[in-house]
Amino acid sequence: QVQLVESGGGLVQAGGSLTLSCAASGRTFSEYIMSWFRQAPGKEREFVAAITWNGLSTHYADSVKGRFTISRVNAKNTVYLLMNNLKPEDTAVYYCAAKRSVGSTLSGEYVYWGQGTQVTVSL
């Protein structure tokens, strides 16, 4: 069992930066693929970024590629999402999620979810 708690959301002006954190409980954090998803009002939850258990491989949605960076520190049971050059369309609730085995961009394949953290980007 893994429990996930996100933090670091807030209000930022367009062009600004934020770093989200996701702290995981449990001794097997390093066994999980970790991902970030986001959900804007009235829209479906969408994939943002994923990172393998050892941090050597990452994958990003086209909409955030080059602006967002996912990373993890297994010794701290934490995964991060550095978001640069934020745009109003990045406004959403951001969730971290965990799954074993093969990575996926499909939210339905993730077993564990955090409660989400709000990111609001103003003009």
Extract the tokens encoding 66: 């080059």
pLDDT tens readout for residues 41-74: 999 999 999 999 999 999 999 999 999 999 999 9
Extract the tokens encoding 54: 């050892």
Q: What is the DSSP letter of 117?
A: E
* Mean of the per-residue pLDDT values of the chain: 95
Contacts of 95 (CB under 8 A, 6+ apart): 6, 36, 37, 38, 39, 45, 113, 114, 115, 116
Task: State the pLDDT at residue 34.
Answer: 96
Task: State the pLDDT at residue 103.
Answer: 81
Confidence of residue 35 (pLDDT cuts 50, 70, 90): very high
Amino acid in the structure at residue 39 = Q
